[in-house]
Amino acid sequence: DAVTGTDSGSLRNDAALRAITTLAFVAPELTVPHLLRKIKTLLDPTPLHALGELEMGVWKTPVGTPFVDVLASSKGNSGKDKGKDADIKKWEAELRKSLAQKKTAEPTLSKQERALIDAQLQKEESIRTSLRDLKKRLLNGVSMISSLLQSGTADSREQSPFLASILMNGIVQRGSLLLGPRVISVFLDLFKSASERLQESRMWFGIATLRVYEVEEIPENLTEEPLNGLLGRLLYKLKGLSDQNPFDGATFSLLWPFIQKVVQKGGIGTESEDDAVEQLVLILDVIRSHTSQFAIPSYPRKDTCQLLVHVIGGHPRVSRDAISALLETGEAIHDSATAEEQDELINSTLNQEVFVRNACLQAMQSFDLTERDWVPILWLACHDEDDQNANLARRLWVENGLDVPDTFLDDMVPFLGIQRHLQAGSRRHLTLL
């Protein structure tokens, strides 16, 4: 409260931030959880996602100059546009920007015209005030992250992936216009907590993460290297070090958004399909170097399963390596898999591709599902149109002692209206009853 109740840059605010650093160092087990909750609240991205062209236009327009030209709109003979036509919206944005930048002498206005402008300025000042309050809140959250990092404790280091996720999902992509380079700087500072084995590459992984997510406010001097060259250099570095020894969970999780985006895009900044495949191969090698560590919950295990399923189904040239990685992941997490991690693979057995379903069922063979009484999706898999998949599902069902409740019908009927292989499985099951 001492931070949020004072103005940024004031003596009290600076003192409160220094106190956060001290407390996080002296009593991290008590301080860090409280700080994380506070930071998450301050950096809630919901208000940022609600900002539109009007709010951003008002923020960029000098005080005293209306962003919306009410005189022009009052003279127009067409109805008020709702912004559904992309070309019109683009033209209006360019026109407003041009009007805001004009420095011509103010023309003589009638009393009615002056009243319209004053009313618009008042509306826009209200918007600007709300954005100032939002900026203050976001800046306080960013400053608290910076103070926490300065404590240099193991607790703060372990939370770097969580903090990076909060920043990336909100103000890095949507709020940098309000905060400027400050947010980019703090985001890159988080990567200093990555393993020292990465040396100077730590910062470049942060920069690469910003670039693959197409963040606009990156300083120009950090974007001079061609993206394809940067990604190739970093991925080869990461593979080489991973082959020697896997990285800890905090480092791997911090790099995960970068890895995830490259895979989701099927390669980024590449000039040919072979270059894209090379990026995917390198990433799969990195993942496979870490599957032996996935018994540790600090690794992004659920996201890894999801990503591997995506690769198996969408990238045939590397699907074999992805299947091997998924089987290794399943074996590593079978004793400690959470319900969410189990559900990720169970739900993936709904995939329309036979080989994707097969890989997921194989990966689950050693899972402990005994705490579950009824798993309708797995029961549906027991009636897969592919015999091998059906056998794998039945073995999993029997070994975990699962049962079908008397009220099963309501859970099964919805599958009748979706993909063909699910329809077949549902009908086969209902026919056998």
The whole-number pLDDT of residue 77 equals 43
- Between CA 338 and CA 303 the distance in angstroms is 13
> Cα-Cα-Cα-Cα dihedral of 288, 292, 294, 295, to 10°?
160
> Cα-Cα-Cα-Cα dihedral of 397, 400, 404, 410, to 10°?
-80
Q: Is the confidence at residue 115, as pLDDT, over 50? A: yes
pLDDT digits (tens, 9 = 90+) for 144-177: 999 999 988 888 899 999 999 999 988 888 777 7
CB 45 within 8 A of CB 99: no
Please indicate whether residue 96 or residue 342 has the higher confidence score (pLDDT): 342
Mean residue pLDDT across the chain: 86
The whole-number pLDDT of residue 171 equals 85
Q: Is the confidence at residue 283, as pLDDT, over 80? A: yes
Candidates 363, 357, 251, 254; CA nearest to 305 is: 363
Confidence band (pLDDT; 50, 70, 90) for 92?
Answer: low
The whole-number pLDDT of residue 155 equals 86
The whole-number pLDDT of residue 397 equals 94
pLDDT digits (tens, 9 = 90+) for 64-91: 888 888 887 555 444 444 444 555 556 5
- Please name the amino acid found at residue 40: K
